[in-house]
A and B are shown apart, each in its own frame.
Chain A
Amino acid sequence: MQPISRRSLFAMAAVATPLAFLAACGDDKKDGASGSTPGDTTPGDTTTGGSAPAAGALTGTVNFLNFTGWAGPTTYADFAAAFPGATVNEIAFASNDDTISKAKDRAGDIDVVLVDGTTFPRLTALGVLAELGDVPNMSLVADQYKGNSWDPTNASFAPTDHGRTGIIYRKDLVTTPPTSWAEFFEMAPEYSGKVAMLDYQGSVMDNVLVMLGKPVGSTDEADLAAVLDVLTTVKPHLLAISTEVGKAVAAGDSVMAMCDAYDAQLALTTNPDVVFVDPSEGQVGYLEGLAILDGPRNALAGAFVNFFLEQANYAAFINNVASPYVQPDNPGIDAALNASPVINPSAGVVAKLQYHVFLGEDQPKFDAVWDAFKAA
């Protein structure tokens, strides 16, 4: 019986050590990326524009905070091939507040972030943003997505994609299709227990404000009381307040929902009976883009932003994620996406599109209404 306990420790160590070692090795490869394995990808098909600056300065790793996979299938590898000695390290986006805490004082060592109009002003307030510098491919972005309230001079925000909240329903399960927010809320009792609501407070509350004819992001007390009234009235009829309403409608758990465009697109490719509607009152959405957090790799970060917007790369990104896009004339975008009113909305829809913004000091008022709705 004597040697057992020691043996057990050795056995544990014997299994654990190689595992940890293997994992550590996998890690090192990416840490030391500047030096290692440049021959992996042949830099034959460099697709950047003619404006590639001296390659000497553009080495190292770009830390890119992004939704996991929210890029072209080979965007990062292509960048590494186009800029020998440079790599991209994708950091999985978790939440806006997490972005803020990691951006403060460069605590998270992040170089490029995907942000929208709600987070960008907070980064500005923190004073952590760098200017984009020379990004020739910004010229490919349509003017209507530039000059936004949070970055009027396009100094630090390079738009990449947008989205909007609309209505999806099942045409086989709903008799009279909803065409407006007002109809959506009116029909809810008829389909009680089969209606789903999006779980993004900004999208939901702003769209109710649009329906009520109030300004988006209003924190006027009467306006917020009216929003809360609409929401608490509909609440008993809701099946779910969820970020996955597309799935619920496609499956048939729900027949009608408030839904974002990218989610709707997936729902209607999996079930042809799903229909997406842009409500007649107009709608609120988001505009996302890349921004650079000031640091030691601004030039490389700028090169990455430019690379991301480069025509072929951008088309690969949009074709991969099936999101509404900001380069309407890009020839590489799939015909199916181009023809889809969800992904490529009409000028009329885009004209009525407004963006949710962060409310700054007034944000807690908005939060309180949402909590009251959820807690009701």
Chain B
Amino acid sequence: MTNRGNRPHDATRVKLGPLVVPDWLLVVIVCLIPVGYMVTRSFGRANPITLDIELIGTLDPYRTLLSGIYRPVLVRSLGLAAVTVTMCLLIGTPAALALSRLRGRSRTRALVAVMLPSFVSFTVRIFAWQGVLATGGPIESLTGAQLLYRPPAVLLGMITAYVPLFILPAYVALARVPRSMIEASADLGARHWRQLGTIVLPLALPGLVTGAVIVGVLSLGEFIVPTVLGGGKVLLLGNILAERGAGRDQPLGGAITVFMLLTFAAGGVVVAIFRRRAARHA
């Protein structure tokens, strides 16, 4: 964000630098190597009986992924992630803002209220929604609306699953916006919405972007919510990965990995450009 001049680097840096090593080591062993391994699988052929992979340098898994059957799968998966991110921005940002404006005990209480459900198994919460929305369940009994296995059920499930993950980093960022700056702009006569748009949100942007990235990435692989609450009528990348991509169809799983990584890389570039622009304007 703001550039703080060219002060000399502080003395602690030199000594602490090597402390990144444990984390990087873990990244390499537990992330880069397995992911690289999965990428190599995408050029192979699976023995569906034993799960052994024969590396024959084929591009067939990619052809399969881009063929007519799977194109809607790609589009729907991207669509679900986009909808989820949008929803989190629209719902999570005001919620985080409200949180950041609370003071003292009520802030702690509200923060607890938002984070607490995330401590309860995701799968359990999603299955519980099924009961809430089913015919004979509380919603249908009270309103007569049959929502289960229909789009609103999926949206509710996605909010349950992802909005808290967005709110947390967004709140941390918003809470860091100095109150003095908000008050100063108010003194200068800036209206509430203008203040938000020109001061608060731009300053909190890195936190919002972090939240959006976390949500976007996780929801691109999501399949439990659409399966349990949406009736499983659509096939998503997550379904293929979970059902066969990790097992008897690792080549296709590898190709999906490459596709996802490319999508995230593209998203990363967009975010970087966006951030740089925001920084210039700030």
Q: Which chain A residue has the least Cβ–Cβ distance from B246?
A: A97
| A125 interfacial by beta-carbon distance below 8 Å | yes
Q: Name the A residues within 8 Å of B70 (CB-CB).
A: 371, 375
Chain A 344-373 near chain B by CB (<8 Å), digits 1 or 0: 000000000000001111011001100110
Instruction: Name the residue among A125, A126, A367 with the largest chain B CB count within 10 angstroms.
Output: A367
A372/B50 in contact, CB under 8 A: no
| A126 and B231 alpha carbons, distance in the complex (Å) | 36
B48/A253 in contact, CB under 8 A: no
Q: Which of A36-44, A180-188, A234-242, A326-334 contacts B (4 or more CB under 8 A)?
A: A234-242
| B35 interfacial by beta-carbon distance below 8 Å | no
Q: Which of B91-99, B180-188, B232-240 contacts A (4 or more CB under 8 A)?
A: B232-240
| B146 interfacial by beta-carbon distance below 8 Å | yes
| A100 interfacial by beta-carbon distance below 8 Å | yes
Q: Name the A residues within 8 Å of B136 (CB-CB).
A: 251-252
Q: Which chain B residue has the least Cβ–Cβ distance from A99?
A: B247
Q: Name the B residues within 8 Å of A125 (CB-CB).
A: 49-50
Q: Name the B residues within 8 Å of A364 (CB-CB).
A: 48, 249
| B73 interfacial by beta-carbon distance below 8 Å | yes
| A101 interfacial by beta-carbon distance below 8 Å | yes
Instruction: Name the residue among B48, B130, B227 with the largest chain A CB count within 10 angstroms.
Output: B48
Q: Name the A residues within 8 Å of B256 (CB-CB).
A: none
| A96 and B51 alpha carbons, distance in the complex (Å) | 11
| A253 and B135 alpha carbons, distance in the complex (Å) | 5
Segment 205-248 of A: residues with Cβ below 8 Å from B: 235, 238-242, 244, 247-248
Q: Which chain B residue has the least Cβ–Cβ distance from A242?
A: B232
Chain B 146-169 near chain A by CB (<8 Å), digits 1 or 0: 101100000000000000000000
What's the least CB distance linking B86 to chain A, in Å? Answer: 24
What's the least CB distance linking B45 to chain A, in Å? Answer: 10
Q: Which chain B residue has the least Cβ–Cβ distance from A368?
A: B69
| A22 and B71 alpha carbons, distance in the complex (Å) | 50
| A101 and B137 alpha carbons, distance in the complex (Å) | 40
Segment 251-268 of B: residues with Cβ below 8 Å from A: none
Q: Name the B residues within 8 Å of A374 (CB-CB).
A: 232-235, 239
| A367 and B251 alpha carbons, distance in the complex (Å) | 14
Q: Name the A residues within 8 Å of B249 (CB-CB).
A: 364, 367
B233/A100 in contact, CB under 8 A: no
A97/B72 in contact, CB under 8 A: no
Known contacts: A97-B247, A253-B134. The answer to whether A242 contacts B231 by CB under 8 A is yes
| A146 interfacial by beta-carbon distance below 8 Å | no
Q: Name the B residues within 8 Å of A196 (CB-CB).
A: 231
A363/B232 in contact, CB under 8 A: no
B69/A375 in contact, CB under 8 A: yes
A371/B69 in contact, CB under 8 A: yes
> How many of chain A's residues touch chain B, expressed as a range?
35 or more
| A122 and B247 alpha carbons, distance in the complex (Å) | 13
| B248 interfacial by beta-carbon distance below 8 Å | yes
B244/A238 in contact, CB under 8 A: no
| A281 interfacial by beta-carbon distance below 8 Å | no
Q: Name the B residues within 8 Å of A358 (CB-CB).
A: 49
Q: Which chain A residue has the least Cβ–Cβ distance from B230?
A: A240
| A253 and B235 alpha carbons, distance in the complex (Å) | 21
Q: Name the A residues within 8 Å of B233 (CB-CB).
A: 235, 238, 240-241, 374
A100/B232 in contact, CB under 8 A: no
B247/A98 in contact, CB under 8 A: yes
A101/B69 in contact, CB under 8 A: no
B72/A253 in contact, CB under 8 A: no
Segment 235-269 of A: residues with Cβ below 8 Å from B: 235, 238-242, 244, 247-248, 251-253
Residue in contact with A360 in the complex, picked from B48, B137, B148, B235, CB distance below 8 Å: B48
Segment 125-148 of A: residues with Cβ below 8 Å from B: 125-126
| A121 interfacial by beta-carbon distance below 8 Å | yes
What's the least CB distance linking B115 to chain A, in Å? Answer: 17
| A247 and B228 alpha carbons, distance in the complex (Å) | 12
| A239 and B249 alpha carbons, distance in the complex (Å) | 28
Q: Name the A residues within 8 Å of B246 (CB-CB).
A: 97
Segment 63-121 of A: residues with Cβ below 8 Å from B: 95-98, 100-101, 104, 121
| A144 and B164 alpha carbons, distance in the complex (Å) | 55
Chain A 7-24 near chain B by CB (<8 Å), digits 1 or 0: 000000000000000000
B231/A100 in contact, CB under 8 A: no
| A121 and B49 alpha carbons, distance in the complex (Å) | 8
A199/B247 in contact, CB under 8 A: no
A253/B149 in contact, CB under 8 A: yes
B234/A375 in contact, CB under 8 A: yes
Q: Name the A residues within 8 Å of B135 (CB-CB).
A: 251-253
| A264 and B70 alpha carbons, distance in the complex (Å) | 33
| A196 and B49 alpha carbons, distance in the complex (Å) | 30
Q: Name the A residues within 8 Å of B243 (CB-CB).
A: 95
Q: Name the B residues within 8 Å of A248 (CB-CB).
A: 134, 148-149
A360/B247 in contact, CB under 8 A: no
What's the least CB distance linking A151 to chain B, in Å? Answer: 16
Q: Name the B residues within 8 Å of A240 (CB-CB).
A: 149, 231-233
- A interface with B by C-beta (< 8 Å): 95-98, 100-101, 104, 121-122, 125-126, 196, 199, 235, 238-242, 244, 247-248, 251-253, 358-361, 363-364, 367-368, 371-372, 374-376
- B interface with A by C-beta (< 8 Å): 47-51, 69-70, 72-73, 130, 134-137, 146, 148-149, 227, 231-235, 239-240, 243-244, 246-249
6 more A-B residue pairs beyond the given contacts A371-B69, A374-B232, with a C-beta to C-beta distance below 8 A:
A97-B248, A358-B49, A361-B47, A363-B248, A374-B233, A374-B239
A-B pairs with beta carbons under 8 Å apart, 12 shown = A125-B50, A199-B232, A238-B231, A239-B231, A242-B149, A242-B231, A251-B134, A251-B136, A363-B48, A364-B249, A367-B249, A375-B235
Which 3 residue pairs spanning A and B have beta carbons closest together? A97-B247, A240-B231, A374-B235
